[in-house]
């Protein structure tokens, strides 16, 4: 009898008019491996090439070693620096990578990499050159006193090779032996970097990093919500800088974050805004680094969009963390069916093991959400919901195989579908580095069927390669014209449906609870924030009308503040 185990290893080949022969997959694979070994001259048991890590970071070196960090937004990098400083490390966050970093990265990196590698490693090399040429440190001193800490993963896209690429570029730039240390994104807290380590990847490390990332997320989200509607130009950025200093200080002094976050709320609440300004909301999706960075890596896209009169709806790093948890949950469920045949290092040999793992992952998902919402509550990010990863997968699965990984995988497709269906934004902009395999190679192909099915969607995919800014800007400007018209049409519809005028809405904005800077109008199935606000103002107009002459009185009182 053919058991389930055997069935997994054999395939019945279709054969017309007779019994189909059985293909033994294991035997076929072994045969193929033998042939390939012969072809590549590996029959004599030659070892696979390994990327040798030059030196490690020992506990005794901690006092005189500076850890360099960079790669996320300015707020995140600063807060990660603060968090690690609070744990007793000496840390320096580097500037956001610019085109000069890209040039340096390309000079020393391998050909054919995606540009996050070039930008990031170029940024590190640039800093090391500054230490050598302007600070007068020798290469030996730099190698001894500095190291670069970055996130790593096993791919399956080029991301899996980043650390090796960094080491190669650093070697070719004259910093052979410079330490690049990774904490694997999927490895959780069970990792070790070798002997007695200088970098302790313990729960305290990950909790602090999580705090830094989530506070950075919340602060960024507040900033992008407020800035397009500020009444005094520059006031949001000024308030954000103030908040960054406060949070950074609390993190680096290892104090409770609560007072700092409450203070942040007070500062951001003081930025005067006008919520009735009509602006298209642009949801930025795409490859993780390209949509996250705030510099030349995406041609300063967020800033450019705001200058062109749009509101940016950015993706948070928390969504990426939740996606990694979701991937683990999905894979665990898939592996449950491999019990008995799966002899891998992480195989799940008993039903209880799978259940325990799923329980832990569920806890991780909930923990991220609870911490995020607590920070959001304290800092004043109202009405923000982290994405539901199961819903994203459900919406994407008809277009993108959930087993295909790399970059944002199916998430990019799911986000577009949900944004269009739920009218979360006026327009969607998908940004990715030139030649990004998962994003431009796969997602962009899939997105065309989504836009076919939803012809009202305003969608633009753009690729960044460092030197095509003018081209990208003009394409964005053209599509923004369409988005602006859509936002105006939405506003006209909202005013017509509610029977209000814009002046009336402005009057109602004077009500303290509606005019609060941190107040976020409920989503009324409109893309732009201003039209959401019209529907909310209309509800309050009705409520107040029931109180007779009270609205006028209330408005007069509110206006006197
Ligand atoms: S997702 Fe794209 S840009 Fe990012 S590492 Fe992978 S291939 Fe490169």
Cβ-based neighbours of 276, under 8 Å, separated by 6 or more: 502, 505, 506, 509, 530, 533, 534
Q: Does 414 contact ligand 1 (Cβ within 6 A)? A: no
Q: How many CB atoms lie within 10 A of CB 481?
A: 12
167-198: pLDDT as tens digits: 899 999 999 889 888 765 444 444 444 456 77
Q: What is the pLDDT of residue 200?
A: 83
For residues 294 and 164, give the distance between their C-alpha atoms in angstroms, rounded to a whole number. Answer: 25
Q: What region, left, alpha or beta, does residue 10 occupy, with left being phi > 0 and alpha being psi -120 to 50 degrees?
A: beta
Q: How many CB atoms lie within 10 A of CB 550?
A: 12
As a whole number, mean pLDDT of residues 300-304 equals 96
CA dihedral 462, 286, 298, 115 (to 10 degrees): -100
pLDDT averaged over every residue in the chain: 87
Q: How many CB atoms lie within 10 A of CB 133?
A: 9
For β-strands 459-464 and 22-24, DSSP reports them as unpaired
Joined tokens for residue 160: 């899996």
305-352: pLDDT as tens digits: 999 999 999 999 999 999 999 999 999 888 877 756 666 666 666 667
Query: Of 51-55, 112-116, 379-383, which range is least confident?
Result: 51-55
pLDDT confidence tier of residue 499, bands split at 50, 70 and 90: very high
Instruction: Say if residues 322 and 467 touch (Cβ distance below 8 Å).
Output: no
Q: Does 117 contact ligand 1 (Cβ within 6 A)? A: no
Among 97, 159, 161, 292, say which to mutate for ligand 1: greatest number of ligand atoms within 8 Å of CB: 159
- How far is ligand 1, taken at its centre, from the CA of residue 128, in Å? 25
Phi and psi of 433, rounded to 5°? -65, 150
Q: Does 287 contact ligand 1 (Cβ within 6 A)? A: yes
Helix (H, G, I), strand (E, B) or coil at 430: strand
For residue 153, pLDDT over 70 is answered with no
Q: Does 297 contact ligand 1 (Cβ within 6 A)? A: no
Q: What region, left, alpha or beta, does residue 286 occupy, with left being phi > 0 and alpha being psi -120 to 50 degrees?
A: left
3-state helix, strand, coil in the chain (%, to 5): 55, 10, 35
For residue 3, pLDDT over 50 is answered with no
Q: Does an H or E element contain 464, and which?
A: strand 459-464
Q: What is the pLDDT of residue 215?
A: 98
In percent, how much of the chain has pLDDT > 70? 87
For residues 558 and 538, give the distance between their C-alpha atoms in angstroms, rounded to a whole number. Answer: 17
As a whole number, mean pLDDT of residues 422-444 equals 87
Q: Does 406 contact ligand 1 (Cβ within 6 A)? A: yes
Instruction: Say if residues 278 and 535 touch (Cβ distance below 8 Å).
Output: no
- The DSSP call for residue 346 is T
Joined tokens for residue 273: 């805004």
Query: Of 12-21, 133-142, 284-293, 347-356, which range is least confident?
Result: 12-21
Cβ-based neighbours of 2, under 8 Å, separated by 6 or more: 10
pLDDT confidence tier of residue 11, bands split at 50, 70 and 90: low
- How far is ligand 1, taken at its centre, from the CA of residue 459, in Å? 21
Query: Of 31-40, 177-186, 324-333, 551-560, which range is least confident?
Result: 551-560
Q: Does 114 contact ligand 1 (Cβ within 6 A)? A: yes
Q: What region, left, alpha or beta, does residue 89 occupy, with left being phi > 0 and alpha being psi -120 to 50 degrees?
A: beta
337-347: pLDDT as tens digits: 775 666 666 66
Cβ-based neighbours of 396, under 8 Å, separated by 6 or more: 402, 410, 411, 413, 414, 417
| Number of the ligand 1 atom closest to the C-alpha atom of 439 | 2
Q: Measure Cα distances from 177 to 136, 142, 153, 362 in Å.
A: 18, 10, 22, 40
Q: Measure Cα distances from 88 to 64, 208, 515 in Å.
A: 12, 12, 43
Q: Measure Cα distances from 137 to 124, 143, 167, 179, 202 in Å.
A: 15, 10, 20, 16, 32
As a whole number, mean pLDDT of residues 44-69 equals 79
For β-strands 22-24 and 10-12, DSSP reports them as antiparallel
As a whole number, mean pLDDT of residues 148-154 equals 77
The closest residue, in CA terms, to atom 3 on ligand 1 is 436
For residues 410 and 404, give the distance between their C-alpha atoms in angstroms, rounded to a whole number. Answer: 8
Edge-to-edge strand order for the sheet containing 90-93?
90-93, 66-69, 146-152, 179-184
Instruction: Say if residues 239 and 231 touch (Cβ distance below 8 Å).
Output: no
For β-strands 427-433 and 311-313, DSSP reports them as unpaired
Query: Of 153-162, 197-206, 295-304, 441-450, which range is least confident?
Result: 153-162
| Number of the ligand 1 atom closest to the C-alpha atom of 159 | 5
For residues 143 and 155, give the distance between their C-alpha atoms in angstroms, rounded to a whole number. Answer: 27
For residues 199 and 218, give the distance between their C-alpha atoms in angstroms, rounded to a whole number. Answer: 27
Instruction: Say if residues 336 and 330 touch (Cβ distance below 8 Å).
Output: no
Cβ-based neighbours of 216, under 8 Å, separated by 6 or more: 72, 73, 75, 76, 78, 79, 80, 317
In percent, how much of the chain has pLDDT > 90? 62
pTM above 0.85, yes or no: yes
For residues 353 and 340, give the distance between their C-alpha atoms in angstroms, rounded to a whole number. Answer: 13
For residues 529 and 517, give the distance between their C-alpha atoms in angstroms, rounded to a whole number. Answer: 13
Q: What is the pLDDT of residue 351?
A: 67
- How far is ligand 1, taken at its centre, from the CA of residue 157, in Å? 6
For residues 551 and 539, give the distance between their C-alpha atoms in angstroms, rounded to a whole number. Answer: 13
Q: Does 271 contact ligand 1 (Cβ within 6 A)? A: no
Q: Does 159 contact ligand 1 (Cβ within 6 A)? A: yes
Joined tokens for residue 539: 């509800």
For residue 515, pLDDT over 50 is answered with yes
Instruction: Say if residues 97 and 119 touch (Cβ distance below 8 Å).
Output: yes
The closest residue, in CA terms, to atom 4 on ligand 1 is 407
For residue 121, pLDDT over 70 is answered with yes
Whether the ω angle into residue 377 lies within 30 degrees of 0, i.e. cis, is: no
Q: What is the pLDDT of residue 191?
A: 42
Instruction: Say if residues 328 and 361 touch (Cβ distance below 8 Å).
Output: yes
Q: Measure CA 387 to chain center.
A: 12
Cα-Cα-Cα-Cα dihedral sign, residues 345, 351, 354, 357: negative
């Amino acid at each position: 009898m053919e058991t389930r185990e055997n069935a997994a290893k054999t395939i019945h080949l279709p054969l017309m008019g007779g019994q189909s022969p059985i293909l033994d997959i294991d035997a076929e694979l072994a045969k193929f491996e033998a042939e390939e070994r012969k072809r590549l001259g590996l029959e004599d048991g030659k070892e696979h090439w390994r990327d040798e890590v030059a030196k490690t970071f020992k506990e005794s070196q901690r006092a005189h070693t500076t850890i360099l960090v960079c790669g996320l937004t300015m707020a995140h990098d600063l807060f990660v620096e603060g968090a690690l400083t609070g744990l007793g490390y000496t840390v320096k966050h580097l500037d956001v990578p610019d085109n000069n970093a890209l040039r340096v990265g390309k000079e020393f990196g391998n050909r054919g990499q995606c540009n996050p590698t070039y930008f990031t490693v170029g940024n590190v090399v640039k800093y090391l050159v500054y230490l050598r040429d302007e600070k007068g440190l020798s290469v030996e001193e730099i190698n001894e006193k500095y190291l670069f800490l970055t996130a790593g993963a096993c791919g399956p896209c080029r991301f899996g090779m980043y650390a090796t690429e960094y080491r190669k570029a650093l070697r070719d730039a004259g910093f052979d032996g410079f330490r690049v240390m990774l904490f694997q994104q999927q490895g959780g807290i069970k990792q070790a970097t070798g002997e007695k380590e200088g970098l302790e990847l313990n729960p305290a490390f990950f909790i602090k990093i999580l705090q830094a990332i989530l506070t950075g997320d919340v602060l960024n989200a507040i900033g992008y919500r407020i800035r397009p509607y500020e009444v005094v130009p520059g006031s949001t950025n000024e308030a954000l800088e103030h908040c960054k200093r406060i949070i950074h200080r609390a993190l680096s002094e290892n104090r409770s974050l609560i007072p700092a976050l409450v203070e942040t709320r007070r500062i951001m609440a003081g930025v005067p805004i006008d919520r009735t300004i009509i602006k298209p909301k642009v949801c930025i999706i795409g490859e993780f680094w390209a949509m996250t960075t705030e510099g030349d890596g995406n041609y300063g896209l967020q800033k450019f969009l705001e200058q062109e009169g749009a509101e940016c709806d950015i993706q948070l790093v928390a969504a990426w963390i939740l996606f990694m948890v979701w991937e683990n949950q999905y894979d665990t469920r898939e592996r449950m069916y491999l019990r008995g045949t799966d002899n891998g290092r992480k195989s799940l040999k008993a039903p209880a093991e799978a259940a325990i793992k799923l329980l832990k992952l569920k806890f991780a998902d909930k923990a991220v959400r609870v911490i995020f919402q607590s920070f959001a509550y304290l800092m004043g990010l109202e009405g923000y919901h982290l994405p539901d990863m199961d819903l994203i997968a459900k919406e994407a699965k008809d277009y993108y195989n959930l087993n295909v990984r790399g970059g944002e995988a199916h998430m990019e497709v799911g986000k577009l579908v949900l944004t269009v269906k739920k009218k979360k934004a006026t327009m969607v902009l998908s940004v990715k580095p030139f030649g990004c395999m998962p994003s431009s190679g796969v997602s962009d192909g899939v997105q065309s069927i989504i836009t076919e099915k939803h012809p009202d969607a305003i969608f633009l995919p753009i690729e960044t390669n460092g030197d095509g800014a003018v081209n990208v800007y003009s394409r964005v400007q053209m599509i923004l014209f369409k988005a602006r018209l859509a936002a105006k049409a939405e506003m006209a519809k909202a005013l017509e449906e509610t029977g209000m005028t814009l002046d009336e809405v402005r009057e109602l904005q004077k009500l303290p609870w509606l005019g609060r800077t941190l107040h976020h109008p409920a989503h009324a199935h409109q893309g732009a924030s201003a039209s959401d606000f019209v529907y909310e103002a209309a509800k309050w107009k009705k409520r107040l009308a029931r109180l007779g002459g009270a609205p006028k009185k209330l408005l007069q009182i509110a206006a006197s503040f």
